[in-house]
Amino acid sequence: MENVRKAVRQIAYSHTLSSLPLLHLSLLPLLSFASSLYSIALSLRHHLYNLKILTKHRLPVPVISVGNLTWGGNGKTPMVEFLARLLIDSGVSPLILTRGYGGADEAKMLRRHLQGTCAKIGIGVNRAATASSFLEKYGYVNVHDIRCSKRIFSEEKEKNLSNSDQIGAAILDDGMQHLSLWRDLEIVMINAMMPWGNHRLVPLGPLREPLTALGRADIVIIHHADLVQEKDIKALESSVQKVKESVPIFLTEMAPLHFFKPGDVSFKIPLEAVKNKILLCISGIGFADSFIQRIDKMGPRYLDRLDFSDHHLFRMKDINIVRTRIQTLESKFAAKPIVVATEKDYDRSPRILQLLEPYEVLVVCCRLQILPHDERTENSFEKIMMELFRRDERGDC
């Protein structure tokens, strides 16, 4: 099954299908048929919502959706955390709504990062029902009263509600295709390193919707922008502006902060710990190349990698595969390698990585940052987001 997943991914990001291996070519008819069915279902679903046959549930608090047009590796969850911190700093108690896919590793990571704050995390496929239960339990701040009193979203960032359990806003993780919930702000993430693949819909390609769906975006984020050339950024900006010329576009990166060891997340190990070391990077994330490139920038003597499918739950057989690769590296370089993992992999399987002892395992901790670009900064992002967020679609004051 793992080989099939890798083959499907390689097809999705290949621009010359004729040069693919035989296994990949044999999958093309089935993938093409499934992609056609998906296109029909997608179109029908949007049509039903437009006709109001299917209805959108509206929450009594503003909803910010963070989503994408392609599968995995677009920085949705780091952006959700970024927004949650921004709202907390503005005196708003955020409710994060996530479906909890793949062992809920993203939700676990968010919960660990936001521990001790007023942020709440609701897990469930039916985000509207999850939100309703949290709003009933904690209560909410009436958005109309907030806007009229100007207690929140002012430039002074008054923090009069920072200690309140009442929910002031909801953040919809992976929300672009979750049409059943009304959103006040649509943020769309794009992976700068691998944006559109072969431009086909899933499963033949990586697109969950056609590029025309960018027309729904209020803000577009080009993620991993620090790992590509300026010409690639310009090409992506042009692609977006052809669909929606006026949409604000921001650039982001995942900035490594420090390492920690499994079982001891509080002890911060400096990034220099891997310099001139033999490394084996293991990951089960949507886009491992960005992880590898960031670790490589830290100056290891040699870097090897083992990639698993997104949300892969590590088991004992995987640990044995990793251990065998470590021993091969140790024999080759006459030095003990260090295993480096991502936070998502740690939070999905926090204990199993400790089974690699006596070899050292380090987990890299990163945080999303906005890169200054064409007068687009973190401050201007906050200003634009809050202005859009403040749009009074529930009535004027």
Pair 9, 32: CB distance under 8 Å: no
Dump pLDDT digits (tens) for 91-130.
899 999 998 775 678 899 999 999 999 999 999 999 999 9
Dig out the tokens for 18 from the structure: 């004729």
Alpha-carbon distance of 154 to 283, in angstroms, equals: 41
Pair 226, 253: CB distance under 8 Å: yes
Which amino acid type is present at position 286? G
Dig out the tokens for 263 from the structure: 């079982």
- Per-residue pLDDT band for 149 (boundaries 50, 70, 90) equals very low
Give the closest residue to 158 by CA, choosing from 92, 95, 61: 92
Dump pLDDT digits (tens) for 8-52.
888 988 877 777 888 788 899 999 999 999 999 999 999 999 999
Q: What is the per-residue pLDDT for 154?
A: 42
Q: What is the per-residue pLDDT for 135?
A: 96
Q: Which residues lie across from 223 on neighbouring strands?
A: 191
Q: What is the per-residue pLDDT for 393?
A: 46
| H/E segment holding residue 187 | strand 185-191
Taking residues 46-63, report their average pLDDT: 95
Dump pLDDT digits (tens) for 322-332.
999 999 999 99
Cα four-point dihedral sign 93, 251, 283, 197? positive
User: Does residue 51 sit in helix, strand or coil?
Assistant: coil
Dig out the tokens for 173 from the structure: 């993780």
Q: What is the CATH number of domain 255-367?
A: 3.40.50
Give the closest residue to 9 by CA, choosing from 203, 209, 288: 203
Q: Which residues lie across from 202 on neighbouring strands?
A: none
Pair 198, 204: CB distance under 8 Å: yes
State the CATH architecture for 63-248+376-389: 3-Layer(aba) Sandwich (3.40)
Dump pLDDT digits (tens) for 247-294.
999 999 999 999 999 989 999 999 999 999 999 999 999 889 999 999
* Per-residue exposure over 4-35, b if at least 16 CB sit within 10 Å of its own CB, e if not: eeebbbebbeeeeeeebeeebeebeeebeeeb
Q: What is the per-residue pLDDT for 22?
A: 84
Dump pLDDT digits (tens) for 357-377.
999 999 999 999 999 998 899
Most confident of 2-11, 72-81, 84-93, 292-301: 292-301
Across the chain, mean pLDDT equals: 90
Dig out the tokens for 45 from the structure: 């679903």
Helix residue ranges per DSSP H, the chain: 2-12, 22-50, 76-89, 101-113, 127-138, 143-149, 230-243, 288-296, 316-333, 343-348, 378-389
* Per-residue exposure over 109-137, b if at least 16 CB sit within 10 Å of its own CB, e if not: bbbebbeeebbbbbbeeebbebbeebbee
Dig out the tokens for 84 from the structure: 């949650």
- Per-residue pLDDT band for 160 (boundaries 50, 70, 90) equals very low
| H/E segment holding residue 220 | strand 219-223
Give the closest residue to 67 by CA, choosing from 58, 77, 57: 77
Q: What's the burial of 37, exposed, middle or buried (CB within 10 Å: 0-12/13-18/19+)?
A: exposed
Q: Which residue has the tokens 């590796």?
A: 73
User: Does residue 86 sit in helix, strand or coil?
Assistant: helix
Which of 1-5, 21-25, 213-217 shows the lowest mean pLDDT across its residues?
Answer: 1-5
Residues 6+ apart with CB under 8 A from 208: 68, 69, 70, 71, 176, 177, 201, 202
Alpha-carbon distance of 374 to 184, in angstroms, equals: 26
Q: Which residue has the tokens 């293991």?
A: 282
Whether 60 has a pLDDT exceeding 50, the answer reads yes
